[in-house]
Amino acid sequence: MNVLLTGGLGYIGSHTCVELLNAGHQAVIADNLSNSRVTVLDSIEKITGKRPKFYEIDVCDRDAVERVFSENEIDAVIHFAGLKAVGESCRIPLRYYRNNLDTTLTLLETMGKHGCTRLVFSSSATVYGPNNPVPYFEEMPANLATNPYGWTKAMIEQILRDHCAANPGFTAVLLRYFNPVGSHESGLIGDDPNGIPNNLMPYIARVAGGQLQLLTVFGDDYDTPDGTCLRDYLHVVDLAKGHLCALDYAAEHVGAEAINLGTGKPVSVLELLHAFIRVNGVDVPYVIGGRRDGDLPASYANAEKAERLLHWKAEKSVEDMCRDSWSFILNHTN
């Protein structure tokens, strides 16, 4: 299969590209490098022995996307391209709506012109909003986001459902990711956010590596077993493999289908932190601070639908996640 990966040089896209190439598929990447580096192509080539075709383009640019489709026979698209920083999306919401919605619309229109009918979309557990009880099931209301980033995901899901309803041969798999962490075991690709990370695992890894001084645990007075928040951390290589299963599913089904990709196992902030310290034999100084605005006490998946429809199940442990996150930092700082 020849698969177009928009945003394919980013964290999740690059890992998915590796799995696709290792499985014998071809990959074409379209990325504007707004949150990634072109050197990721070298890393992908080092890991797989193959270099994907690369277009440095903005996926909002119709002519550029048209060029990708006219120069390549694209069988399916995985749409990763998007902006993802929650805090920034509150400060500059229009940038998020423009980028995330426009890339999707441009892609759908161009796919339509070229008769490409299979799309896998990077959605997020954030669409479950603040009111659903855990664990989250796909059938729950998923249309109450709490920030502009989350709204773009909820809106795009609706756009894709409408598009599928109007185009009966079209398939859109809406993958609702929980908390991707870790990196490829080579340590060559990983989560490399610009500036100070917002997310827990990259923050822990940078404190362990000495680039940041101290981790603040945001609140230990939640109604959870140890008082810190519960999340569904998922190894990015497991997540990447889920996309291959989604492509197989899309080849045999039509319509829009939302599917959680998570482990279904809640892990607290302190559990993740102590696992990281134990597995890697490093020190991670931390203090307990106040709650972070907008944080939910618990967010984790019911992961049965992915198993049933995609025949996918997360396999890697919290220890694997901690070890591989650290090996990326070691590789990167050296």
Residues within the interface to ligand NAD (CB under 6 A) = 6-7, 9-13, 30-36, 58-60, 80-84, 99, 103, 122, 124, 177, 180
* By CB under 6 A, residue 299 contacts ligand UD1: yes
Q: How far is the CB of 128 from ligand NAD (least distance, A)?
A: 12
Q: Shortest CA distance to 245 belongs to which of 184, 332, 303, 179?
A: 303
Q: Which amino acid is at 253?
A: H
Residues 224-253 that bind ligand UD1 (CB under 6 A): 229, 231
Bridge pairing between strands 76-79 and 53-56: unpaired
Judged by phi (left if over 0) then psi (alpha if -120 to 50, else beta), residue 85 lies in beta
Distance CA 313, CA 263 (A): 7
Q: Shortest CA distance to 21 belongs to which of 48, 1, 46, 40?
A: 48
* By CB under 6 A, residue 123 contacts ligand UD1: no
- 60 beta partners: none
Q: Is 149 a catalytic residue?
A: yes
Nearer to ligand NAD, 9 or 301 (CB): 9
Distance CA 305, CA 117 (A): 23
Q: How far is the CB of 302 from ligand NAD (least distance, A)?
A: 17
Which of the stretches 66-74, 157-165, 212-220, 258-266 binds ligand UD1 when contact is defined by CB under 6 A? 212-220
* By CB under 6 A, residue 328 contacts ligand UD1: no
Residues 26-85 that bind ligand UD1 (CB under 6 A): none
Q: The tokens of 102 are what?
A: 């426009």
Q: How far is the CB of 3 from ligand NAD (least distance, A)?
A: 15
- Residue 122, binding choice from ligand UD1, ligand NAD, none, Cβ under 5 to 8 Å by partner class: ligand NAD
Nearer to ligand UD1, 6 or 179 (CB): 179
Q: The tokens of 156 are what?
A: 């795009």
Residues 133-162 that bind ligand UD1 (CB under 6 A): 150
Nearer to ligand NAD, 288 or 298 (CB): 298
* By CB under 6 A, residue 292 contacts ligand UD1: yes
- Residue 135, binding choice from ligand NAD, ligand UD1, none, Cβ under 5 to 8 Å by partner class: none
Distance CA 245, CA 173 (A): 10
- 31 beta partners: 56
- CB of 110 closer than 8 Å to CB of 62: yes
- Residue 89, binding choice from ligand NAD, ligand UD1, none, Cβ under 5 to 8 Å by partner class: none
> Inter-axis angle of helices 269-280 and 318-333, to 10 degrees?
60
Contacting ligand UD1 (CB under 6 A), which of 27, 200, 321, 322?
200
Which residue carries 């929650």 as its tokens?
86
Contacting ligand UD1 (CB under 6 A), which of 169, 294, 315, 333?
294
Helix (H) or strand (E) segment spanning residue 143 = none
Distance CA 80, CA 141 (A): 23
Question: Which one from 96, 149, 203, 249 is the annotated catalytic residue?
Answer: 149
Distance CA 55, CA 33 (A): 10
- CB of 296 closer than 8 Å to CB of 224: no
* By CB under 6 A, residue 211 contacts ligand UD1: no
- Chain residues that interact with ligand UD1, rule: CB under 6 A: 86, 124, 126, 150, 179, 198-200, 203, 215-218, 229, 231, 269, 292, 294-295, 299
Active site residues: 149
